[in-house]
Amino acid sequence: MSFDYDLFVIGGGSGGVRAARVAATEGARVALAEEDRYGGTCVIRGCVPKKLMVFASEYPDAMEDARAYGWNVHSDGFSWETFGTRLNAELDRLEGVYRNLLSGSGVTTYDARATLKDAHTVSLSTGEEFTAKHILVATGGHPVRPDLPGAEHGIVSDDIFHLDTLPKSILIIGGGYIACEFACILNGLGVQVTQYYRGAQILRGFDDEARGLVAEEMQQAGIDLHLGSTILEMAPTEGGYQVKATNGTEKVFEQVFFATGRRPNTDDLGLEEIGVELGRGGEIVVDEYSQTAVPSIYAIGDVTGRVALTPVAIREGMAFVETVFKGNPTPVDHELIPTAIFTQPEIGTVGMTEEEARAREPVEIYCTSFKPMQQAFAGRQNRVLMKLIVSKANRRVLGCHIVAPGAGEMIQLAGIAVKMGATKEDFDRTCAVHPTMSEEIVTMKTPIRTA
Ligand code: NDP
């Protein structure tokens, strides 16, 4: 049977674009359909604009510190409009880069919504239909609001980049990556931030000591964080929204921001109708090669509900091409993925938390917390944390957790050692880089506890 294409990719985000490009470079005839902007969540409404907002939000502290260092600094305040104009120009530029990468590698693009008609046929919203030997679903996910009265008035992370003005006050619901990052960003930009998290401590799943320090630092920075509390209902009122909470309070906030998780984009794609299995959260069920229950259909990235991180989607895309177009079956390696949360201070983490490790085997915990030189000199009380979890049995470093400015940069490098299986003694043999914060990671001599 002859097909119009060897590969049809649905979704032009990080994973889809990478898979399309690399398959085309291998000589495959590739098409890609995207209904929105190229670049997907990461480039258009996630990692990239978020990180630029993190940078913007750090200047007030930097300016204050600069004064302590002898600079005569004067600011006329922050202009959301100026920042937004530059941000949008940058996103336009990046979208252009993505489009050029696709056309440059010979991928045919369709600016249309695609749905599946059968195991080898894609229908586009333009009315066109194409057949393909393989179909790759890389449609990503979207933020969800909880089901409660008035929730439709709240914003989600997609909306935050398009606000005409910054609110004076905001209530953020949730305690995950997005809630905590935006609490810090908006606080830094001068918004009065309140955060409600239903659990006992924010950033569930991360190392307890690390999340405890971040929560403390966020509170010290002025974020009004309420644990064990969440919203019951909200309704429009003068100056914003009246919010009833589980802690018995009723308060008015100019905006309410739901950072209550994301859901895979699998609705109305025709997946189940043709036999693709979906999980309870709406995610596409795939095997270790990203293959679905329909052999010609594969799925990668957030839509599979595995690990919702851009670099993981890209690796899944690369492994898919290796498997399907290079005849080299390659399972995706989801072990020991380093990651960073861009709170202020950041968390950089790789491997097991102390809680996970001690439940599994006897461990030694090496941990230090201190005031970093740069901020301490400026009179700040902020602390950083460096922590290693070490297996007693084979001395391997099972987990590394860093809470510090720049922790995301540090953990990328520590992640190599941990992924290589480095032992505590390998860390010890490595000479310190002085004076840095991260030198503490190779100078911790005595465990603070064993378990
Ligand atoms: P998360 O799943 O990380 O967090 C969702 C939060 O909302 C949790 O605290 C959850 O509470 C809470 N929640 C869920 N439902 C409700 C509800 N009905 N009422 C009240 N609270 C609720 O999702 P995010 O949206 O923050 O992020 C999604 C994913 O995106 C992340 O897991 C991550 O993979 C990725 N991401 C990565 C970033 C990075 O690499 N820096 C940045 C941003 C996102 P509970 O803990 O009790 O379930």
- pLDDT per residue over 294-333, tens digit each? 999 999 999 999 999 999 999 999 999 999 999 999 999 9
- The answer to whether the beta carbons of residues 407 and 380 sit under 8 Å apart is no
Q: Please, what's the b/e burial string for 175-199 (b: 16 or more CB within 10 A of its CB; e: otherwise)?
A: bbbbbbbbbbbbbbbebbbbbbbbe
Q: What is the pTM of this model?
A: 0.97
DSSP string, 387-415: EEEEETTT-BEEEEEEEETTHHHHHHHHH
pLDDT of residue 207: 98
What is the Cα–Cα distance from 326 to 166, expressed in whole angstroms? Answer: 49
Output the CA 104–ligand 1 centroid distance in Å.
36
Residue 19: which of 142, 137, 140, 113 has the closest Cα? 137
Q: How many CB atoms lie within 10 A of CB 295?
A: 10
| Amino acid making up residue 267 | D
Output the CA 258–ligand 1 centroid distance in Å.
10
Residue 281: which of 260, 264, 301, 258 has the closest Cα? 264
434 contacts: CB under 8 Å, gap ≥ 6: none
Q: Which atom of ligand 1 is nearest to the CA of 47?
A: 42
Task: Give the tens place of pLDDT for each residue, 144-161.
Answer: 999 999 999 999 999 999
Task: Give the tens place of pLDDT for each residue, 112-152.
Answer: 999 999 999 999 999 999 999 999 999 999 999 999 999 99
Pocket test for ligand 1, best of 53, 173, 177, 246 (most atoms within 8 A of CB): 177
Residue 66: which of 392, 375, 346 has the closest Cα? 375
Output the CA 224–ligand 1 centroid distance in Å.
19
SS3 category, 386: strand
Percent of the chain with pLDDT over 90: 100
